Structure 1
Amino acid sequence: MIRNTSKILIVDDESFYIDVLVDLLKDEYRTVVAKDGEQALRRALASPPPDLILLDILMPNMNGHEVCRRLKADPATRDIPVIFLTIKSEVADELKGFELGAADYITKPMSPPIVRARIKTHLALCAANRELADQNNLLESRVRERTAELSRTKDVAIYCMASLAEAHHAETGKHILRTQHYVKALAEHLRHHPSFAHYLDDNSIEMLFKTSPLHDIGKVGVPDRVLLKPGRLDPDEWELMKQHAQHGHDALLRAERELGTTDFLQLAREIAHTHHERWDGTGYPRGLAGEEIPISGRLMALADVYDALISKRVYKDSMTHEAAVRIIRESGGSHLDPEMVAAFLEIQDVFLDIAVQFPDNDIARAGSPSPDTDSGA
């Protein structure tokens, strides 16, 4: 009766050694035999695969060294321990075998106790390595799950914070979702553009997507009488409205000082502070111009302008997609980065798809009347 379920593949071109090994191991292991290299490679790929291979070196056509090299080159067989069987005992031959990935050597003529002991040792090592790998995989899986949970928690917190800011005025949570996706779509389209490739990679685009909902967090510091005014703001009210970019910057800076600086908070602060700067330098709060405005702020500006144009606010009606595109086209080089405007024009249908995917009831549809209005704050 076999006492061990381990499967041993015996590879030798001499029937005498095969018979010796099969007789030696048959009561303790399941044995499979191959009489040349090609047959050995095929049987190593069988299901279930062998747990260990006893491999003769001196075989015709394909010697044991070549068989071992091929086994270790194949992901399906590279982890199977290989013990060479050889009449050679030169150090150079042993070194070559170990360099190819062999686990051990057994010299012919073979000593039964040594054969059993080495097989037992290497099967135990292999089992321990598999258990360790399984534990590592389980740990990595738990870490991934925990990281994903923390990421989801952070996303929820960001969305709630941004929604609270939006709750003070006419914009909605759908505005947050739309502008997130506008920014990501535009960034993805520009990632290989010579002016932006140095900045836009997978990580930075994901960070832009995650942080963009906080662009108007500073509006919590603007009085409701200004945010909710059903008409144009007077000069004093406009000055109060413009302060929201600085409020957002300052709030996120305080968070950095309390919690420690992170790339996330730095980018969120940059977006909140600069998304109302204008390419021609007439924006706020700092009057930055051209490439002085961070790429993140320029991306957010275009996304925010488009969404403001197509959305109804307390101070204006909504505008059609076509009318919004016309205004953005005309804003290139004045309000908006002209290269970003060119990219927007190439993917304007993607913006429209996003607007349709996350609609407010009062978003204008393509082809509906478009009033004469500006892009708001």
Structure 2
Amino acid sequence: MRIFAIDDSPSILSFICHAVAAIDSCEILPFLDPSDALMVMQTLQADLILVDYNMPGMNGVELISRVRQLSNVRDIPVIMLTSETDPVIKIAAIEAGATEFLTKPIDRTEFTIRVRNLLALRIAQQALASHAQSLERDVTAARSRIAAQEREIIWRLSKAMACRDGETALHLERVAVVAGMIAEELGFDPATCETISMASPLHDVGKIGVSDAILLKAGPLDAAEMEEMRAHAAFGAEILGESESHVIEVAARIAGSHHEKWDGTGYPLQLSGMDIPIEGRIVAVADVFDALCSERPYKNAWPVDEAYAEILGGAGRHFDPTCVAAFERKWPLIRQLYTRTDGAAAARADLSQFSSQTNTTLETAA
């Protein structure tokens, strides 16, 4: 334990050094000048500070005030040594941060007891701080495990749904990455971008309530079939709603709003403009673009440049113009995800390279 002793009297410092020498595991650093002590405290950790009151240039109260301004000694016990009996001085010292007082002339026995007690307090503080740090590390590790499990559950559920309606896991991965890119370009913080990326694969979870005959129909849907298909957005929001998970809350907003249109002609609630949740506006761009570029039972895949032009042409009608502008600024990176000619493995490598937010495990599509 390191003790700083500050007193302008060499004889008092000598007395303190001899008294501390009798206490096990202690190092004493004596200072005649308070300024020298303050300078050393900035680099060496103190465990107990002994301060005289009457000193030239800086009295004990002023020194304690300066000491308490140092981040590494704000909670260190401080004993003021003084022959002053004025209660005003003691109150000022307490307000400045003094822990205890010893009256001069100092009784050696009392001095030793007080020092040992405050060192024991300091040891208890250190043990408590260490325990708190250990608990914080455990909590952080537990949160990381929970987050990883949540990501995996979301991914596996999304993959199961994608397989059911003829989509692939690669579609979900690309939507997640493109949505994360758009969110990043819009200026969202990394945690929000990651949340949107993690939640986006659940955008069509409501299709679990749509019949296979409609999901896999090769031709256009009639009015009744279209109504059933459109019901998946509200159903998805209902499935995911009222969750205590922040990611699932975001996924619920995405599921319920990614088919809304900027001009109010979308579904299920015909929301328009800024009334559409931002997560839904972002995923709408990513989902429609990838859907255009993907082969489905009822259509062939569009060339990526034609799909890109379609997204830009939908700004202000189908899509939020700011989201389309962000998509356009990210286009050089997005285009590379869709123009590699060496197959799905290369596309997966691109996804891993370009996604700076999402930690979703990219698995081989069934």
TM-score (norm. length: structure 2): 0.82
Give the aligned partner of residue 214 of structure 1: 202
Preserved CA contact (<8 Å) 1:178 1:355: no
Give the aligned partner of residue 42 of structure 1: 39
Once the two structures are superposed, residues 204-229 of structure 1 have per-residue CA deviations (whole angstroms, 9 ceiling, x without a partner) of 55543332221011223334444345
Distance 1:201 1:109, change over 3 A: same
- How many Å separate the matches in 2 of 1:287 and 1:163? 28
2:290 to 283, 299, 307: 307
Q: Which amino acid aligns with 1:43?
A: V
State the secondary structure of the residue aligned to 1:85. Answer: strand
- How many Å separate the matches in 1 of 2:227 and 2:346? 28
Identify the structure with bigger relative contact order (alpha carbons < 8 Å, sequence gap 6+). 2
- How many Å separate the matches in 2 of 1:94 and 1:122? 19
Give the aligned partner of residue 293 of structure 1: 276
168-177 or 148-157, which moves further after superposition? 168-177
Distance 1:54 1:361, change over 3 A: closer
2:319 to 327, 331, 336: 336
State the secondary structure of the residue aligned to 1:8. Answer: strand
Structural mapping, 1:135-146, within 5 Å = 135-146=131-142
- How many Å separate the matches in 2 of 1:354 and 1:128? 57
Q: Which amino acid aligns with 1:60?
A: P
Preserved CA contact (<8 Å) 2:264 2:273: yes
Structural mapping, 1:84-103, within 5 Å = 84-103=80-99
What displacement does 1:157 show?
1.0
Once the two structures are superposed, residues 51-79 of structure 1 have per-residue CA deviations (whole angstroms, 9 ceiling, x without a partner) of 21211122222333333223221223333
Structure 1 spans left out of the alignment, 5+ residues: 1-5, 192-199, 364-377
Distance 1:352 1:82, change over 3 A: farther
Is 1:274 aligned to residue 274 of structure 2? no
What displacement does 1:46 show?
5.2
Q: Which amino acid aligns with 1:52?
A: L
157-166 or 238-247, which moves further after superposition? 238-247
- How many Å separate the matches in 1 of 2:259 and 2:308? 19
- How many Å separate the matches in 1 of 2:311 and 2:346? 20
Give the aligned partner of residue 29 of structure 2: 32
Distance 1:142 1:355, change over 3 A: farther
State the secondary structure of the residue aligned to 1:83. Answer: strand
Q: CA RMSD in A?
A: 2.9
Give the aligned partner of residue 13 of structure 1: 8
- How many Å separate the matches in 1 of 2:11 and 2:337? 74
- How many Å separate the matches in 1 of 2:143 and 2:213? 42
Is 1:251 aligned to residue 239 of structure 2? yes
Q: Which amino acid aligns with 1:98?
A: I
What displacement does 1:321 show?
3.9
Structure 2 spans left out of the alignment, 5+ residues: 348-366
- How many Å separate the matches in 2 of 1:331 and 1:155? 32
- How many Å separate the matches in 2 of 1:227 and 1:361? 27
95-104 or 69-78, which moves further after superposition? 69-78
Preserved CA contact (<8 Å) 1:226 1:233: no
1:325 to 288, 305, 308: 308
1:76 to 72, 79, 82: 72
Preserved CA contact (<8 Å) 1:165 1:218: no
- How many Å separate the matches in 1 of 2:5 and 2:346? 76
Give the aligned partner of residue 58 of structure 1: 54
What displacement does 1:309 show?
2.6
- How many Å separate the matches in 2 of 1:100 and 1:354? 62
TM-score (norm. length: structure 1): 0.80
Distance 1:58 1:233, change over 3 A: same
Give the aligned partner of residue 116 of structure 1: 112
1:164 to 160, 163, 167: 160
Q: Which amino acid aligns with 2:235?
A: H
Q: Which amino acid aligns with 1:179?
A: V
State the secondary structure of the residue aligned to 2:29. Answer: strand
Distance 1:309 1:119, change over 3 A: same
**Identical-pair percentage:** 33
When the two structures are aligned, how many residues end up with a matched partner?
A: 342
- How many Å separate the matches in 2 of 1:97 and 1:353? 68
State the secondary structure of the residue aligned to 1:31. Answer: strand
Distance 1:103 1:321, change over 3 A: farther
Preserved CA contact (<8 Å) 2:81 2:103: yes
Q: Which amino acid aligns with 1:252?
A: L
Give the aligned partner of residue 149 of structure 1: 145
State the secondary structure of the residue aligned to 1:342. Answer: helix
What displacement does 1:320 show?
4.3
Q: Which amino acid aligns with 1:306?
A: F
What displacement does 1:323 show?
2.6
